[in-house]
Structure 1
Amino acid sequence: MTTPVAPIEDDRNARVAFQGAPGAFSHEACVALRPWDEAVPFETFAEALGAVRTGDCDMALIPIENSTIGAVEPAATLVREAGFETLADVWRPIRHCLMAIDGARMADIRTIESHPIALDQCRETLSHINAKIVVAFDTAGAARDVAEAGDRSRAALAPMAAAEVYGLSILRHDLQDSADNRTRFVLLACKKG
């Protein structure tokens, strides 16, 4: 189900908070839903919601549910407790890629880094790859860290956009366990009045 993206008073050039680094699934969703706005990254869901509360950002786009794992926590609880107005509610397909620095091969990979929710969505597939799982704060943040390290033994599980943003090569596409892996995002703003 998708509800339309509701206008805010100044519908152009708003600041939309999201959790993660540039290239994260939430960043992709911001660009897809409101390409005219400035997407502003925050390390945590609480910080993204807090930016709306303080007025630093006009809205926040937060994932609250995934078709594979259920509620996206702690985001779902934080959204419920925030008491914000929901401007839009949209399901988006989530496709995970395994990426590493140029020249790396699957045989080189010793660690796979990503956000715990992304790792949960790929649990079965990852169990067939002989690599240590490393939890990171964000999918795109993991991709950034892998790129900066320049180590062929490290890979990130992240969206395709993260490979483009951080100059990584994709080793494998579609690592999600479910072919119909989708995440529900809500666009939130402070209630008027």
Structure 2
Amino acid sequence: MSLKAVPIWVCANHFPQHSSQLGGDLFVPKRCRFVGYSRMECFAGLSLERAKTPVEDDKPLAKPDLGVASIDVSNTNQSLGFHKDLNSLPKPLSATDFSSSLDDGSKVRVAYQGVPGAYSEAAALKAYPKCETVPCDQFEAAFKAVELWLVDKAVLPIENSVGGSIHRNYDLLLRHRLHIVGEVKLVVNHCLLGLPGVRKEDLKRVLSHPQVVAADGIRDTGAVASSRAAEIYGLDILAEGMQDQSDNITRFLILAREPIIPGTEKPHKTSIVFTLEEGPGILFKALAVFALREINLSKIESRPQRKRPLRVVDDSNKGSAKYFDYLFYIDFEASMAEPRAQYALGHLQEFAKFIRVLGCYPMDTIL
């Protein structure tokens, strides 16, 4: 059997004195290489080329021109849908800014979808307690804000324990060349808010937008939002725990322009996306590469390919059959610094036409 050539990132945990980012889609230590594309052997300094199969909008991210002193804010603000005036945002960061950033996020600008007081903002503040949050109208605006160096990171929801996956963000992960560098799990606590002095019995209707209640001063109208929204808009909390299920949890992803170096000192999770060759049992074989190495899969999501949704297969004398052609998104609980994860992805290449590592990052174990 043969292994296909894939892009590589070098894991600095094995060779920190020689580590370098090679701009691909897999973390593999420099001491390991594919020999004859048939087996893994120890050897230093060999990288493999990226698989050439194009998938969806998998285009290289254009590097920002850091020599440009200004951006056409009038057009950018309209197209990206930011709440803030982009002129108020700091200039693009330099390498010095990154090296001096503190762990508490005091020098980090984080984009999120929604308005101040949204749960996405709360997730950003959980990840970086002293960060500057930047609200965006749309999910894609948050992606673009990171790509354009307007912010350092974006925190976006990917799944909810009640509502399921946010498919839009799965599609945007593939369309944009950002990297997952962390996750945040946040308990949803819906509160009933009202103007100061208003009782719950006085309410005649309830909205889902606290800004309307606060701005218009409507005393017989309440709002369902977070406790932080009550602080921001000067509203009273009339009741808490308004959600249908008490264990309502949303998982968010932290996205950045550059990946982080994976470690083994704490539990890590790796997110990948791939497509498979046609054949009976091919998905079973693909998933078995993780089971064989005792790697737990915490998430699997399938999405039809947007530009090539149908696969035509002539598998009978009655004519051609048409099937959806899928992308598979998987989260597995292992760090790319571990050999078992590296070997699992090498094994997966036997069945995958395309594979991309979206990120390897520490798991959020605190609610």
Q: TM-score, normalised by structure 1?
A: 0.74
1:58-97 deviation line (CA, Å, top 9, x unaligned): 1100011100110135344333432420000121111110
Matches of 1:87 and 1:99 in 2, distance apart?
34
Q: Is the 8 A contact 1:99 1:171 kept in 2?
A: yes
Secondary structure class of the residue paired with 1:145:
helix
1:33-74 deviation line (CA, Å, top 9, x unaligned): 112321111122221121112111111000111001101353
Percent identical pairs in the alignment equals: 37
1:156 aligns with 2:223: yes
1:104-162 deviation line (CA, Å, top 9, x unaligned): 22233233222xxxxxxxxxxxxxxxxxxxxxxxxxxx112211110012211111011
Matches of 1:18 and 1:52 in 2, distance apart?
11
Secondary structure class of the residue paired with 1:175:
coil
1:159-178 deviation line (CA, Å, top 9, x unaligned): 10110111101111001111
Q: Which has the higher contact order (CA 8 A, sep 6+)?
A: 1
Partner of 1:119: none
Counting only pairs closer than 5 Å after superposition, residues 55-134 of structure 1 correspond to structure 2 as 55-114=149-208
The structure-2 alpha-carbon separation of the partners of 1:78 and 1:113, relative to structure 1 and needing over 3 Å to count, comes to farther
The structure-2 alpha-carbon separation of the partners of 1:149 and 1:75, relative to structure 1 and needing over 3 Å to count, comes to farther
Matches of 1:152 and 1:16 in 2, distance apart?
34
Matches of 1:24 and 1:55 in 2, distance apart?
23
Partner of 2:114: 20
Q: Is the 8 A contact 1:62 1:185 kept in 2?
A: yes
Which of the numbers 233, 236, 239 marks the counterpart of 1:172? 239
Matched residues, number? 158
Q: Is the 8 A contact 2:178 2:256 kept in 1?
A: yes
The structure-2 alpha-carbon separation of the partners of 1:108 and 1:82, relative to structure 1 and needing over 3 Å to count, comes to farther
Matches of 2:147 and 2:212 in 1, distance apart?
30
Q: Is the 8 A contact 1:65 1:76 kept in 2?
A: no
Q: List alignment gaps of at least 5 residues for structure 1.
A: 1-7, 115-141
1:35 aligns with 2:129: yes
Partner of 1:137: none
Partner of 1:190: 257
Q: Give the letter for the 2:164 counterpart.
A: G
Matches of 1:81 and 1:113 in 2, distance apart?
34
Matches of 1:188 and 1:21 in 2, distance apart?
19
Secondary structure class of the residue paired with 1:9:
helix
Q: Is the 8 A contact 2:127 2:184 kept in 1?
A: no
Partner of 1:133: none
Q: Give the letter for the 1:28 counterpart.
A: A
Q: Is the 8 A contact 2:115 2:135 kept in 1?
A: yes
Q: TM-score, normalised by structure 2?
A: 0.41
Q: Give the letter for the 1:181 counterpart.
A: N
CA RMSD of aligned residues (A): 1.9
